[in-house]
């Protein structure tokens, strides 16, 4: 061995140890350099698009752990992991191969994204702003020893597609964000969230809809009463927008937003199609006013019926009063007055309230009135927070209206499948009922 032009004499045993160390080190470095983690078809995609994760260059039948990490808008770190065994050719394909253990088991191609969790309980992954992508870092790790990284790749999941514009709207009483696809005209959709979120609205705009998103509550202090008038302004804003076709406006809502959506369909002209997701048939928690008069009384909560679970989150499904009791019938939204088409969506394991029961009650009421302007979708195993697909599943989190943590329900795999199916169903429903000859954009 030559060091600084000097010859160093060592024994044969020491020489063998040095050579062995160098050869093993070189082999391991070569191996790790040859290992590749690929995201197909690209490392950049839209939030609601799947990617295929493939690992190549492993040893035959090698066991590795694949991890995902992402930080939400509140700087909370979420992570997931799953263990895989390579095939005889040293490859792992998440579209084909089952996870042996970890955050999930079995074949779940997007399981690493859908099972992202924070270290602390009851955390919802906040990704509500459209301008920044959802960034996920994937890495492949040695199963043995120190679990060193063999390969890594970053997935940028954009909420806004090419050509879609984002415009904050402050007009009259409207406070929201408008997403407009290129060209036009387009069918118009009002996205009603309990609190402000841009995610679903801009993802719908990518599909060829002009979408205005507004919140039922602008902040957590203004919850004593709700006036329908500002929401009517939003409907009228969309109806008269120069890039909107003549058919009318669609509305999409979930949870507390559903009773406002139903009320718009019942009391305001121009609502053509309405998607109701895991909601109620009555004005829950707050009285509703329109043109300075109360039109619906509040359906209240009985907090003695709240059940605290082992995790510390509360089960509130049975705490809402029955809207069919005589004393509560003034809270029911008179949807039989509505001329719009309805898509009612209920999840079997919604633990926020009994969405299936509310849906059945509305369907029965419409049938009694001779109405056929509705269709229903029921998802076994899904929970309350049905959202656009491929986001992290959330089983419990802080309730925005009640200010304590609640369980939302849902079995992760069934819930993820429901989100994929529902997202396509929503687009088909709006295209069918908001269609006109000018709206030919089906992105």
**Structure confidence at residue 33 as a pLDDT band (50, 70, 90):** low
Report the alpha-carbon distance of residue 53 to residue 301 in Å, rounded.
46
Written as one string, the DSSP assignment of 179-200 is EE-SS--EEEEEEEESS---HH
Active site residue 384: yes
Whole-prediction pTM: 0.90
Say what the pLDDT of residue 22 is.
42
Q: How many helices (H) and strands (E) does the chain have?
A: 7, 27
Q: Region of 300 please: left (phi>0), alpha (psi -120 to 50) or beta.
A: beta
User: Higher pLDDT residue, 218 or 322?
Assistant: 322
Summarize the confidence of residues 378-388 as an average pLDDT. 98
E-state strands within 11-73: 36-40, 44-46, 52-56, 63-71
Q: Is the pLDDT of residue 406 over 90?
A: yes
Q: What's the rounded mean pLDDT across residues 124-147? A: 93
Q: Which distant-in-sequence residues (6+ apart) come within 8 Å of 151 by Cβ?
A: 32, 35, 36, 37, 55, 57, 139, 140
Q: Do 303 and 319 meet the contact criterion of CB atoms below 8 Å apart?
A: yes
Q: What is the pLDDT of residues 221-242, one digit of tens each?
A: 567 889 999 999 999 999 999 9
To the nearest whole percent, how much of the chain has pLDDT over 70?
Answer: 90
Buried b (16+ CB within 10 A) or exposed e, 276-310: bbbbbbbbbbbbbebeeeebbbbbebeeeebeeee
By three-state DSSP, how is residue 156 classified?
strand
Annotated catalytic residue within 70, 139, 197, 255? 255
Could you tell me the pLDDT band of residue 220, with boundaries at 50, 70 and 90?
low
Per the annotation, the verdict on 48 as an active-site residue is no
* 360 counts as catalytic: no
Sketch out the chain's domains with CATH numbers: 33-158 (2.60.40.2240), 165-433 (3.40.50.1820)
Structure token digits, residue 280: 């109620």
- Among the listed residues 48, 93, 349, 350, the single catalytic one is 350
Q: What is the pLDDT of residues 168-209, one digit of tens each?
A: 999 999 999 999 999 889 999 999 999 999 999 999 999 999
Active-site pick, 384, 399, 415, 433: 384
Instruction: For residue 170, count other CB atoms closer than 10 A to its CB.
Output: 8
Segment 353-357 shows an average pLDDT of: 96
Residue 222: what pLDDT? 63
């Amino acid at each position: 061995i030559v060091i600084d032009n000097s010859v160093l004499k060592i024994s044969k045993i020491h020489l063998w140890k040095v050579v062995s160390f160098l050869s093993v080190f070189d082999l391991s470095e070569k191996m790790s350099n040859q290992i590749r983690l690929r995201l197909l078809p690209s490392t950049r995609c839209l939030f609601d698009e799947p990617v295929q994760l493939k690992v190549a260059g492993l040893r035959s039948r090698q066991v590795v752990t694949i991890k995902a990490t992402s930080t939400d808008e509140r700087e909370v770190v979420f992570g997931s992991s799953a263990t895989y065994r390579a095939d005889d050719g040293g490859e792992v394909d998440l579209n084909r191969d089952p996870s042996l253990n970890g955050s999930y088991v079995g074949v779940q191609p997007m399981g690493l994204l859908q099972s992202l969790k924070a270290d602390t309980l009851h955390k919802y992954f906040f990704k509500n702003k459209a301008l920044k992508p959802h960034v996920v870092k994937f890495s492949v790790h040695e199963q043995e020893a120190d679990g060193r990284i063999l390969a890594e790749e970053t997935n940028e999941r954009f909420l806004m597609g090419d050509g879609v514009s984002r415009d904050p709207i402050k007009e009259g009483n409207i406070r929201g964000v408008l997403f407009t696809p290129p060209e036009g005209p387009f069918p118009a959709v009002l996205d009603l969230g309990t609190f402000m979120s841009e995610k679903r609205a801009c993802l719908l705009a990518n599909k060829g809809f002009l979408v205005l998103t507004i919140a039922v509550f602008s902040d957590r202090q203004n919850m004593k009463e709700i006036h329908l008038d500002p929401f009517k302004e939003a409907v009228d804003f969309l109806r008269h927008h120069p890039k909107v076709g003549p058919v009318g406006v669609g509305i999409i809502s979930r949870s507390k937003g559903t009773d406002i959506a139903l009320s718009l369909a019942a009391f305001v002209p121009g609502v053509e199609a309405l998607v109701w997701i895991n909601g109620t048939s009555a004005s829950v928690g707050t009285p509703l006013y329109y043109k300075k008069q109360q039109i619906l009384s509040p359906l209240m909560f009985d907090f003695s019926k709240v059940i605290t679970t082992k995790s510390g989150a509360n089960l509130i499904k049975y705490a809402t009063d029955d809207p069919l009791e005589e004393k509560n019938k003034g809270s029911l939204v008179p949807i039989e007055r509505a001329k719009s088409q309805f898509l009612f969506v209920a999840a079997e394991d919604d633990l926020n309230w009994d969405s299936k029961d509310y849906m059945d009650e509305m369907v029965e009421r419409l049938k009694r009135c001779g109405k056929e302007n509705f269709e229903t979708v029921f998802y076994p195993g899904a929970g309350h927070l049905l959202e656009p697909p491929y986001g992290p599943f959330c089983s419990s989190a802080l309730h925005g209206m009640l200010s304590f943590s609640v369980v939302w329900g849902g079995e992760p795999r069934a819930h993820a499948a429901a989100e994929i199916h529902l997202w396509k169903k929503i687009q088909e429903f709006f295209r069918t009922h908001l269609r006109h000859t000018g709206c030919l954009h089906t992105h």
